[in-house]
Amino acid sequence: MARANDEAADLIQELADLLSITGGDGFKIRAYEKAARAIAGHPDDISGMDLAGLRKIPAVGEAIAKKVLDYNATGTIRQVEDLRAQIPAGVRALTAIPTLGPKKALAVYEELGISSVPELAEAIKEGRLRGLKGFGAKTEDNILHGIDLMRQAGERVLIDVAADLAEEIVAALSPLAERCTHAGSLRRMRETIGDVDILAASTEPRPIMEAFTALPFVTDVIASGDKKTSIRTTRGLQVDLRVVPPESWGAALQYFTGSQGHNIRTREIAVRAGLKLSEYGLFSAESGELIVSETEEEVYERLGLPWVPPTLREDGGEIEAALKNELPRLVTAQDLRGDLHSHTDLTDGVATLEEMVAAAAERGLEYYAITDHAPNLFMQRMTDEKMLAQREQVRELQAKYPDLTLLHGTELNIDPDGEVDWDADFLAGFDVCVASVHSAFTQSQAEMTRRFVRACENPHVHVIGHPTARLIGKRSPVDADWDEVFRAAARTGTALEVDSFPDRLDLPADLIRRARRLGVKFSIDTDAHALGHHRNIRYGVGTAQRGWLTPDDVINTWPLDRLRAFLRKRS
């Protein structure tokens, strides 16, 4: 996504947050939030768009379009600046706690003069929030939990933020270098990224370093030299750039991709082979002579290993598998024939059915499911009539897409007992049903396990959506006996989703790997709510790869007839 889109979306989201602190109109606030999501998810760069262009973005009306114009012209939004000035920085700092709403942030500031996160934690421990209206023991627990989540997330960013930044930097530096790419945890597709590592190959590092520090979003140059330069961006993210001679490219890329654990293992193997492997290259241990290794493949070959996909490089058994030549053939985005989870503006999506289907066709998919939310998620106001009307629209639209089979589905809500929204007859009318936990996240492990098992046993539930329901940095995964759930999924022929949303990546990789061993099948979906979200599929694929999935493990790599047989479950 374009950086401008993200920045404008952040500002509009902040506007919504600031308005809710000052007691703004709820309807307006939700409109801003929706617009922020739409702008972040819009596939085209908003910078340079005029009023008419901006208004074509779903959920963006005249008033919001004007604010974005303001951003395009000045780099900020006037109203945001005004509100920032009115609201104490301390209150704004408190609203960063995921479980503390703006109203409560304002209350603790006004009543107790608390203006920072550590102060708030301290006050809770000292019992100073007791007696404050609306703050029970449960609220206190929630706030402490929120502070915990925030600390765990630390300074790390979600993968899409890092990926977009890396893409922009690589595009800017590539013309100056023989090679240029990202390495580090981003190349391994870890779910959060500490800092971005960029690697370039050239005999002339100077101009590359200069171009790097001159990039428009650089706020600080932390360190600069001919080998390595580090900067900090406007969003607070650090980027390390290393420039290496072309003949060391393979070894350097291998080194800076990591992980550290993987590198320790490869270095040991090198030592045993009479070699020395470091960030400077691959050398003969005896003569110290550089062994030219322009590619990673050459490095691994010298070590007697097949090339190891970066997503496996965690010292999680990949070295052992490589030594036996038993690395899995990992699933890729090209293997995916379909997407089984997406939303339109009939519920909380921001694009129309027609637009979402056009985007799916552009991805070259063979089948595509529209799965808007079911009625029990009350905010979405779904009804039987609306759902059936959409089904008609889908059938009509099908005529325009001879190469793309449209599936009409829904995303059901798994209630606390494991039941879902509609009765069996109505459910039978859908081509595919995703079922997800959207409420009662804090059930006990036993209750939650039973809930998932019952959902799997429902013959109309095909895919469990974002199974742990976590939001990275915001909401912990639900507690279940996962092995029990996985056995139920495998036994009933219910797929588990790998949701590609950067703040979900759910199932997480470690659980994917466990589930796979128990015979579970998976569906890698975008859960797209906007046109731009289709691009997120790469993060779902990365997560699936980190869970060692092969194409056969993933039902939406299968031809449609095989998929349809799976969707019939045991009936």
Q: Which is nearer to ligand DGT, 185 or 543 (CB)?
A: 185
Q: Could you give the CA distance from residue 82 to residue 84 in angstroms, rounded to a whole number?
A: 5
Q: Which is nearer to Zn ion, 240 or 372 (CB)?
A: 372
> How far apart are CB 238 and Ca ion at their closest, in Å?
7
Q: Which helix (H) or strand (E) holds 17?
A: helix 3-21
Q: Could you give the CA distance from residue 530 to residue 34 in angstroms, rounded to a whole number?
A: 10
- Structure tokens that stand for 14 in this block: 């902040």
Q: Which span (191-199, 316-324, 348-356, 402-410) binds ligand DGT, by CB under 6 A?
A: 191-199
> How far apart are CB 231 and ligand DGT at their closest, in Å?
14
Q: Could you give the CA distance from residue 201 to residue 35 in angstroms, rounded to a whole number?
A: 41
Q: Which is nearer to Zn ion, 65 or 377 (CB)?
A: 377
546, interface contact from ligand DGT, Zn ion, Ca ion, none, CB < 5-8 Å by kind: none
Exposure pattern of 144-170 as b/e (b: 16+ CB <10 Å)? bbbbebbeeeeebbbbbbbbbbbeebb
Q: Does 316 bind ligand DGT (CB under 6 A)?
A: no
> How far apart are CB 391 and Ca ion at their closest, in Å?
47
411, interface contact from ligand DGT, Ca ion, Zn ion, none, CB < 5-8 Å by kind: Zn ion
Partners of 525 in beta bridges: 499
Partners of 199 in beta bridges: 181, 242
Q: Does 194 bind ligand DGT (CB under 6 A)?
A: yes
Q: Which is nearer to Ca ion, 184 or 551 (CB)?
A: 184
Q: Which is nearer to ligand DGT, 146 or 258 (CB)?
A: 258
Task: Write out the residues near Ca ion by the rule CB under 5 A.
Answer: 184-185, 195, 197, 240
Q: Does 189 bind ligand DGT (CB under 6 A)?
A: no
Q: Could you give the CA distance from residue 375 to residue 438 in angstroms, rounded to a whole number?
A: 12
Report whether 489 contacts 520 (CB < 8 A). yes
Q: Which is nearer to ligand DGT, 81 or 510 (CB)?
A: 510
263, interface contact from Ca ion, ligand DGT, Zn ion, none, CB < 5-8 Å by kind: ligand DGT
> How far apart are CB 314 and ligand DGT at their closest, in Å?
10
527, interface contact from ligand DGT, Ca ion, Zn ion, none, CB < 5-8 Å by kind: Zn ion
Report whether 11 contacts 40 (CB < 8 A). no
Q: Does 499 bind Zn ion (CB under 5 A)?
A: no
Report whether 145 contacts 476 (CB < 8 A). yes
Which residues does 562 contact at the CB level (< 8 Å), separation at least 6? none
Q: Which helix (H) or strand (E) holds 128?
A: none
Selected from 147, 527, 548, 557, the binder of Zn ion by CB under 5 A is 527
> How far apart are CB 222 and ligand DGT at their closest, in Å?
13
> How far apart are CB 557 and Zn ion at their closest, in Å?
21
Question: Binding string, 394-433, against Zn ion, x = CB under 5 A?
Answer: -----------------x----------------------
> How far apart are CB 315 and Ca ion at their closest, in Å?
17
Partners of 157 in beta bridges: 193
Report whether 563 contacts 377 (CB < 8 A). no
> How far apart are CB 328 and ligand DGT at their closest, in Å?
22
> How far apart are CB 533 and Zn ion at their closest, in Å?
11
List own/partner pairs for 275-278 with CB under 8 A and 24 or more apart: 275/302, 275/303, 277/251, 277/303, 278/251
Report whether 502 contacts 159 (CB < 8 A). yes
Q: 558 φ, ψ to 5°?
A: -80, 150
Q: 503 φ, ψ to 5°?
A: -95, 5
Q: Please state the three-class secondary structure of 329-390 as a single string.
A: CCCCHHHCCEECCECCCCCCCCCCHHHHHHHHHHCCCCEEEEEEECCCCHHHCCCHHHHHHH
Q: Does 310 bind ligand DGT (CB under 6 A)?
A: no
> How far apart are CB 502 and ligand DGT at their closest, in Å?
14
Q: Which is nearer to ligand DGT, 233 or 556 (CB)?
A: 233
260, interface contact from Ca ion, ligand DGT, Zn ion, none, CB < 5-8 Å by kind: ligand DGT
259, interface contact from Zn ion, Ca ion, ligand DGT, none, CB < 5-8 Å by kind: ligand DGT
**Number of residue whose CB is nearest ligand DGT:** 258
> How far apart are CB 270 and ligand DGT at their closest, in Å?
12
Residues interacting with Zn ion, by CB under 5 A? 411, 527
Task: By CB under 6 A, name the binding residues for ligand DGT.
Answer: 184-185, 190, 193-195, 197, 255-256, 258-260, 263-264
